[in-house]
Structure 1
Amino acid sequence: MPSTASSLASVATWIEALEQAVQQRNPGEPEFHQAVHEVLETLAPVISLRPELREAKLVERMAEPERQIIFRVPWQDDRGEIHVNRGFRVEFNSALGPYKGGLRFHPSVNLGIVKFLAFEQIFKNALTGLGIGGGKGGSDFDPRGRSDAEVMRFCQSFMTELHRHLGEHTDVPAGDIGVGAREIGYLFGQYRRMTNRWEAGVLTGKGTAWGGSHVRTEATGYGNVLFTAEMLKMRGEHLAGQQVTVSGSGNVAIYTVEKAQELGAHVRTVSDSAGYVVDDKGIDLPLLKQIKEVERGRVSDYAARRGSSARYILGGSVWEVPTDVALPSATQNELTAKDAATLVRNGVKAVSEGANMPTTPDAVRILRDAGVAFGPAKAANAGGVATSALEMRQNAGRDSWPFARVEEELAQVMGRIHDTVYETAERYDRPGDYAAGANIAGFERVADAMLAQGLI
């Protein structure tokens, strides 16, 4: 679907002006600015071919959240000291369904980060085809080092305010960084207490004994590996036998390692904020799970207990390790232009994002120019929210599916996402550009729904 050069130039000028307007309207929010830029820079072919989208100000409307909620979260620690944190929920777009997206508890959380995550979630959720809108939330509360009782009191205070904005047909949060099964349990309990309703579909990531879904814990990591395998398949290769570098050591990283090993890859690395481990024998998954999920330890503990095959590097970059496939699974902007240049120099074939926006724009350009297959987060890590939507489906039918069925459904969703993204890139003369394909496909689905529903 080619566009004329003059038409594209005109649209590019309009997009540049729109970006500046977004930055002026949302000062001091660099992550949000980056997320908007990464989508807008790929939309010129769509806007030039579909002038009705520009006339209806679809892009301007899509870049403005439907609702931004900020609230006080007071709570008391075990010593009786009172603390005050800040809570956020950005309900960004509900054109395709109820707002859907996780809650993040981490000291770095602020409105700009929540808006970036929610904006990304719009397109990610659209790509799943499962009828969910985009939202995100969280708090600057740090659960690390806090007792279960302290975390419970914080979660109860947080949900006391947030509950009025939630509902299975309105807004359905899930977990994210700092919000796991423990936190979801406390949040759900307080929601029931405040509403006097057993509304299982209002939160996802629940325990399987009380409305949760199998595979939800594994889904983001599994989904990214499945997407990576599809990208390699398009190049006539398989994941089996490939050297794989994984960053992070939380939930996403652990289950990225698990699925990659299951498919025959050799995974040698995990990392945390202090450093990284290289294990020449391959990551010992049971040991990693024991240290991270049970003991809440550090990757340095893994290296100390693993033996001579593993070495711990304090500081530095995990991307210095030569690899065939890189799967960033820690946090935003962790893979820089310098890291991308190192990966390319070492012969990397594919980079796929398990975390949200872990690759900087300059790094993406370096990878793309070098012909590296690049899986953007809004497509590659959609497995988590896709399985959350499957959990909502089970809740609606008061049903519980076995692990194998959910895993098969997840594999089908990730296959469809890959094919949609790949074919959209081809349709707009961007063959192999998964980032452009994901942005355009997600945007078109949301834009068409918004057009159909009038000026909203």
Structure 2
Amino acid sequence: MSQAVAQLKAIARARDPEQSEFLQAADEVLESLEAVFARDPKYVNVMERCLEPERVVMFRVPWLDDNGVIQVNRGFRVEFNSAIGPYKGGLRFHPTVNLSILKFLGFEQIFKNSLTTLSMGGGKGGSDFNPKGKSDNEVMRFCQSFMTELARHIGATIDVPAGDINVGGREIGFMFGQYKRLTRSFDCVLTGKDMTFGGSNIRPEATGYGCVYYAQEAIKALKNRSMAGLKCVVSGSGNVAQYTCEKLQQLGAKSLTFSDSNGYVVEPDGFTTEQLAKVMEIKNVKRGRISEYMTSGVQSSKAQYFAGKTPWEVPCDVAFPSATQNEIRKADAEILVRNGCYGVFEGANMPSDSDAIAIYHANGVVFGPAKAANAGGVACSGLEMAQN
């Protein structure tokens, strides 16, 4: 490790010693820039500035549940870097959300957004609110309260949030409605909106489709293979995973798995279009668990559900981690390689830890990092901003 990288790592750790997710993301970027720092030392000082957010907003979110009891959650917005445009990045609603996770996501967003060549800076936000098990009215009241505070910090030329984990069209709609009520403005202050009020064509599909297109080109260039017939393991069962599966089907590949925090389901011959539609219904309409697929009536006789496990034990040609950060660790990567996997393309943000990435490189696995592989979503968001 060079002196410049060691110095920058020490600075980051001195400021935020407890923020493990952010420090992991920072280490990954700093180590990749070692040759740049050696060639042109002026960028050491530039990167020191990039490691510190321009602004961090943290606020209380009180909301009324269906029993008439006031609940309180914590909201965040990390406005990381606006050097090339307004802050741009999603909102995540999940009980694990904390400042470290949002700083890591915002830091990654800086570089991802710049790769699109569009004028977008980097940011991220969210709350430790968990929408699972909540009624539509409870989610609406939470979103309205969240936006009541957030509205004063965002704007079309300042900060334009979007969706992320547990923030889809329903939540974006609730927040956009509250923003309009507060500001009397139809500015492009949120992307990922429904087509009926300013959304963009193919935005829901963009991240998953883009990741598969990235994989297609990488495998063609580096392995001289097409996607047709490839066995693919996909983690997650939300927006990114669903449309990753759909595009794999369209290209003739076999998408074998879906997962959530409780376990995973596998279709050994690949999910059909009918089976994918049922998964979408379970997750998007019923807001259920992926285990419900096993009693849906469309599952094949070979389908299996594995509780408490992750899909990386399923033999595959290509893996698409599309759930959350650090879902592939060293042991998982070793299993993937041992089972013949030769491509990993990140639909989620930082789903592979540093040990897993080292195993990919050591074994010649084609690796598509999140900053590039899943940039299709934010690229489409940039078009929605221009459209509005």
The alpha carbon displacement at 1:304 in A equals 2.7
Aligned to 1:369: 362
Q: Which position in structure 2 is the counterpart of 1:343? A: 336
Segment of structure 1 superposing worse, 348-357 or 308-317: 308-317
Q: 1:65 aligns with which of 53, 56, 64?
A: 53
In the alignment, which residue of structure 1 is the partner of 2:291?
300
Give the secondary-structure state (helix, strand or coil) at the position aligned to 1:190: helix
Give the TM-score taking structure 1 as reference length: 0.83
1:416 corresponds in structure 2 to: none
Q: Does 1:229 align with 2:216?
A: yes
Counterpart CA distance in 1 for 2:279 and 2:148 is: 35
Match in the other structure for 1:216: 203
- Amino acid aligned to 1:45: A
The 1-side partners of 2:140 and 2:276 are apart by 29
Aligned residue among 287, 304, 322 for 2:278: 287
Structure 1 residues 62-141: aligned runs within 5 Å: 62-141=50-129
Residues 20 and 52 from structure 1, CA distance in 2 versus in 1: closer, same or farther, beyond 3 angstroms?
closer
Q: Secondary structure at the match of 2:232?
A: strand
Give runs of aligned pairs for residues 255-294 of structure 1, distance below 5 A.
255-283=243-271, 284-294=275-285
Conserved 8 A contact 2:234-2:321: yes
Question: What corresponds to 1:314 in structure 2?
Answer: 307
Query: What SS class does the counterpart of residue 316 from structure 1 fall into?
Result: coil
Q: Distance in 1 between matches of 2:384 and 2:362?
A: 39
Unaligned ranges ≥5, structure 2: none
Match of 1:6 in 2: none
| Alpha-carbon distance in structure 2 between the residues aligned to 1:311 and 1:272 | 14
User: What is the rounded CA distance, in whole Å, between the counterparts of 2:261 and 2:374 in structure 1?
Assistant: 21
**TM-superposition CA deviations, 1:169-192 (whole Å, max 9, x none):** 110000111111111011011111
For residue 30 of structure 2, what is the amino acid of its counterpart?
Answer: L
1:45 matched to 2:45? The reply is: no
Bigger drift between 118-127 and 269-278 goes to 269-278
The structure with more helix, counted as a fraction of residues: 1
Shift of 1:13: 1.6
Which whole-Å CA distance do the structure 2 matches of 1:88 and 1:358 have between them? Answer: 22
Report the counterpart of residue 16 of structure 1 in structure 2: 6
| Structure 1 Cα separation of the partners of residues 136 and 262 of structure 2 | 25
CA-CA distance at 1:78 after TM superposition? 1.1
Query: Identity of paired residues, percent?
Result: 59
1:293-320: CA deviations, max 9, x gaps?
1111222111233141211111223111
Structure 1 residue runs of 4+, over 3 Å off? none
| Aligned length in residues | 382
1:53 deviates by 2.0
1:68 Cα offset (Å): 0.4
Which residue is 1:429 aligned to?
none
- Which residue type is aligned with residue 84 of structure 1? V
Which residue identity is paired with 1:384? G
Shift, 1:289, TM fit: 1.2
- Report the Cα distance in structure 2 between the residues aligned to 1:295 and 1:36, rounded to whole angstroms: 38
TM-score normalized with structure 2 length = 0.97
- Residue in structure 2 matching 1:246, options 209, 212, 234: 234
* Separation in structure 2 between the aligned mates of residue 251 and residue 45 of structure 1, nearest angstrom: 37
In the TM superposition, 1:166-185 aligns within 5 A as 166-185=154-173
Q: SS at 2:32's partner residue?
A: coil
Paired AA for residue 230 in structure 1: E
Looking at structure 1, the residues matched to 86 and 209 of structure 2 have their Cα atoms a distance apart, in angstroms, of 25
Task: Kindly indicate whether the alpha-carbon contact (under 8 Å) linking 2:219 and 2:225 is maintained by their aligned counterparts in 1.
Answer: yes
Answering whether residue 180 of structure 2 is matched by residue 187 of structure 1, we say no
